[in-house]
């Protein structure tokens, strides 16, 4: 042991000297993660402190779990928690099957040009900014100028001011999410379909199976592992509601159904400067999300014997 | 024989119904864009009255004239290009060498560094600590702050690192025999072999930058520095506030609706121009995106 120690030091030294370029290349990445990911994690301690800007993170006094106590006695926070789960679950229930159906249907299209054109179009909204999505929604659902109310009027229905009606917020939010992401999300299922063994179809054709039967009895079961993994990932990210679109679409009138944890954090923390309380809400969110993601990864490991990462 | 015919007739019906359904979905995806474009070229009064469906009513360029005469529109457009290209360049300068280093089998602490990066995908400090950190670092209200603060992420690093790890060692060995150092191996051997992975990362970075608005809105106070999406958001907010009073202001030949629509069209056009070029990398990118640690 004693004699190997200087040897080891020398070996490390030689390694560093001949590979210094590798470590120089690694440095910016590591520094970036320390400064922009790990330093904020250190700053999370303000969730347990009475934070004041003047005293800074280290100088502010500890208050224990006071902020968490405040949160769990606050109707606003509990409402945001409920809304986060509701919006996530509804998006999952209505949004998750759409890309699978799209992929199955795209797979059945034999007309090459038609297929390619349709795919090009349905992938497009994924690349459009949230602000534009919100702009389209606000214009289309406007009570006076919007196409939706124009159609309702044509059908003899009185105009509805959709964006100030709490009961309409979730359908509009989830619908625009499906419109934006369903097409692009189908790619992963199409890739899984491309990997299905062609001999399965060949023998099915010999047995006289219809295309409808092959779609349900061969294609769908073959991509089931992909479906399950995608489902697990979605459940792991249950708390990750796209709050940017919510910030753009909600109004005080719709907070009741629209306000989620991150939008509450934004209003109270960044706009209202209640940093410590908002950081506590964020920490709660992050810990629950962490547990969900870890559970999802463990389940997927067991299921597919490959980790998601 | 009878059976065969029956099946093929059923199949034909299936194929047509399927095509019609996909066609309908495609049209409903496309329709909002057509609607917005139609509104943007319409007369303000017609747009405010909700008479525009799929083609401009009272064709006019008034909204565009109004938008293009706004200095803030031009400065925010310029800023979006700065954030998109500057941001992507800085991202690549960090991600490429970092991924190369992490792909080296003999790197000291390799497992530790990889775990340190992957951990940020699972646990995130959240909005407030990140915001306070940016403020404490003096990175508020600056081009540099917005660019460097979002230059990197675990996903892109792992994606490229995995791609580098898949390059056969023989390439590297041959270069070493010729006396190449790591920097040369990266630039002369690895990068030319990694075009699909690089294209995917460039695509991800550029799309995120072009579309990003939340942090730009939070971190930038100076109007001269805001990107197009934040500017658009301000205009939409005016529109929304206005609607709360039940009437949309009609100003001569353009209205808030047509002006907003015109800004949206101007913001989408560059995406549409780039779209055909990036399209061929979708499938590859998504497959590479199935990252494993």
Question: Under a CB-based contact definition with an 8 Å cutoff, are residues B63 and B73 in contact?
Answer: no
> B41-53 burial string, b = 16+ CB within 10 Å, else e?
bbbbbbbbbbebe
Q: How far apart are CA B252 and CA B241, in angstroms?
A: 20
Q: Which residue, chain included where needed, has tokens 């490390």?
A: A12
Separation of alpha carbons B227 and B225, rounded Å: 7
- Residue B248: pLDDT band with limits 50, 70, 90: very low
Closest CA to A102 of B233, B21, B15: B21
Q: Which residues of B touch A24 (CB under 8 A)?
A: 97
Residue among A230, A228, A236, A238 nearest A88 (CA)? A238
Of all residues in chain A, the one with the smallest CA distance to B46 is A145
Instruction: Give yes or no for residue A4 having a pLDDT over 80.
Output: no
pLDDT at B244: 47
Distance, CA of B248 to CA of B263 (rounded, Å)? 18
Q: What number of helices (H) and strands (E) belong to chain B?
A: 17, 2
ipTM of the complex: 0.89
Q: Which residue has the tokens 């979605």?
A: A234
Going by DSSP bridges, is the β-strand pair B254-255/B250-251 parallel, antiparallel, or unpaired? antiparallel
Q: What is the pLDDT of residues B85-105, one digit of tens each?
A: 999 999 999 999 999 999 999
Q: CA-to-CA distance for A27 and A84, rounded, in angstroms?
A: 38
Contact in structure between A237 and B41 (CB atoms under 8 Å): no
CB–CB contact A191 B102 (8 Å): no
Neighbour-count burial for A116-132, b at 16+ CB within 10 Å, e otherwise: eebbebbbbbbbbbbbb
For residue B11, the SS3 value is: helix
pLDDT tens per residue across span A104-117: 999 999 888 999 89
Q: What is the pTM of this model?
A: 0.89
Interface of B with A in 95-154 (CB under 8 A): 95, 97-102, 104, 106-108, 113, 116-118, 120-133, 136-137, 148-149, 151-152
Return the structure tokens found at B238. 């005016």
Cα dist from A307 to A193, A293, B120, B181, whole Å: 21, 12, 17, 34
Closest among A260, A237, A238, A265 to A250, alpha carbons compared? A260
**Cβ distance of B122 and A290 shorter than 8 Å:** yes
pLDDT digits (tens, 9 = 90+) for B43-81: 888 888 888 888 898 899 989 998 999 999 999 999 999
**CA-wise closest residue to A200 among A227, A186, A220, A230:** A220
- How is B233-250 classified by DSSP, letter by letter? HHHHHHHHHHHHTT---E
CB pairs under 8 A between A and B: 290
B245 close to A (CB below 8 A): no
Query: What band does B3 get if pLDDT is binned at 50, 70 and 90?
Result: very low
Cα-Cα-Cα-Cα dihedral sign, residues A161, A163, A167, A172 = positive
Binned at pLDDT 50, 70 and 90, residue A309 comes out as very low
Give the CA-trace dihedral at B53, B55, B58, B61, to 10 degrees: 120
| Residue spans of beta strands (DSSP E) within chain B | 250-251, 254-255
Report the share of chain B in percent with pLDDT over 90.
Answer: 65
Q: Which residues, at least 6 apart from B61, have a Cβ–Cβ distance to it below 8 Å?
A: B41
Q: Tokens representing B163?
A: 């791609």
How far is A65 from chain B, CA to nearest CA, in Å?
Answer: 18
């Amino acid at each position: 042991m004693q004699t190997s120690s200087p040897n080891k030091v020398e070996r490390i030294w030689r390694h560093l000297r001949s590979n210094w370029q590798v470590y120089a290349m690694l440095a910016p990445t590591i520094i970036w993660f320390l400064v922009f990911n790990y330093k904020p994690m250190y700053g999370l301690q303000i969730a347990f402190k009475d934070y004041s800007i003047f005293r800074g993170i280290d100088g502010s006094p500890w208050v224990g779990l006071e902020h968490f106590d405040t949160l769990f006695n606050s109707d606003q926070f509990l409402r945001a928690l409920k809304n986060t789960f509701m919006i996530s679950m509804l998006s999952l229930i209505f949004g998750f099957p759409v890309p699978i159906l799209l992929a199955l249907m795209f797979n059945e299209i034999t007309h090459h040009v038609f297929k390619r054109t349709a795919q090009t179009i349905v992938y497009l909204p994924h690349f459009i900014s949230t602000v534009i999505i919100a702009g389209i929604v606000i214009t289309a659902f406007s009570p006076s100028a919007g196409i939706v109310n124009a159609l309702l009027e044509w059908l003899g229905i009185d105009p509805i001011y959709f964006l100030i009606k709490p009961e309409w917020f979730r359908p509009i939010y989830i619908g625009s999410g499906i419109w934006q992401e369903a097409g692009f999300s189908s790619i992963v299922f199409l890739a899984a379909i491309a990997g299905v063994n062609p001999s399965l179809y060949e023998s099915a054709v010999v047995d006289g199976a219809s295309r409808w039967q092959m779609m349900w009895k061969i294609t769908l079961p073959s991509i089931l592992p992909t479906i399950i993994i995608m489902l697990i990932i979605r459940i792991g990210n249950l708390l990750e509601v796209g709050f940017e679109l919510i910030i753009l679409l909600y109004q005080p009138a719709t907070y009741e159904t629209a306000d989620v944890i991150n939008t509450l954090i934004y209003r109270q923390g960044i706009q209202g400067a209640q940093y410590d309380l908002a950081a506590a809400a964020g920490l709660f969110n992050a810990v629950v999300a962490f547990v969900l993601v870890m559970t999802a990864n463990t389940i997927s490991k067991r299921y597919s014997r490959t980790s998601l990462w | 024989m009878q059976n065969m015919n029956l099946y093929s007739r059923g199949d034909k019906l299936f194929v047509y119904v399927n095509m019609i359904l996909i066609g309908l979905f495609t049209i409903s995806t496309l329709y909002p864009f057509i609607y917005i474009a139609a509104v943007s070229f319409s007369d303000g009064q017609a747009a405010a009255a909700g008479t525009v469906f799929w083609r401009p009513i009272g064709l006019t360029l008034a909204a565009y004239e109004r938008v293009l005469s706004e200095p803030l529109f031009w400065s925010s457009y310029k800023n979006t290009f700065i954030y998109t290209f500057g941001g992507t360049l800085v991202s690549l300068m960090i991600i490429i060498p970092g991924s190369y280093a992490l792909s080296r089998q003999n790197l000291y602490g390799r497992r530790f560094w990889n775990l340190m990066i992957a951990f940020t995908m699972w646990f995130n400090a959240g909005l407030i600590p990140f915001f306070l950190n940016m403020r404490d670092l003096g990175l508020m209200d600056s081009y540099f702050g917005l660019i460097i603060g979002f230059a990197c992420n675990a996903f892109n690093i792992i994606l490229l690192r995995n791609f580098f790890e898949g390059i056969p060692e023989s390439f590297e060995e041959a270069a070493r025999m010729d006396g190449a150092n790591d920097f040369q191996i990266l630039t002369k051997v690895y990068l030319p072999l990694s075009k699909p992975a690089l294209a995917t990362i460039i695509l991800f970075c550029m799309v995120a930058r072009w579309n990003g608005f939340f942090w730009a809105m939070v971190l930038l106070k100076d109007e001269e520095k805001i990107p197009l999406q934040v500017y658009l958001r301000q205009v939409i907010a005016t529109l929304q506030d206005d609607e709360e009073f039940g009437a949309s202001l009609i100003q001569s030949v353009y209205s808030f609706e047509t002006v907003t629509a015109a800004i949206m069209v101007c913001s989408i056009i560059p995406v549409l121009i780039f779209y055909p070029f990036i399209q061929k990398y979708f499938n590859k990118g998504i497959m590479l995106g199935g990252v494993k640690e």
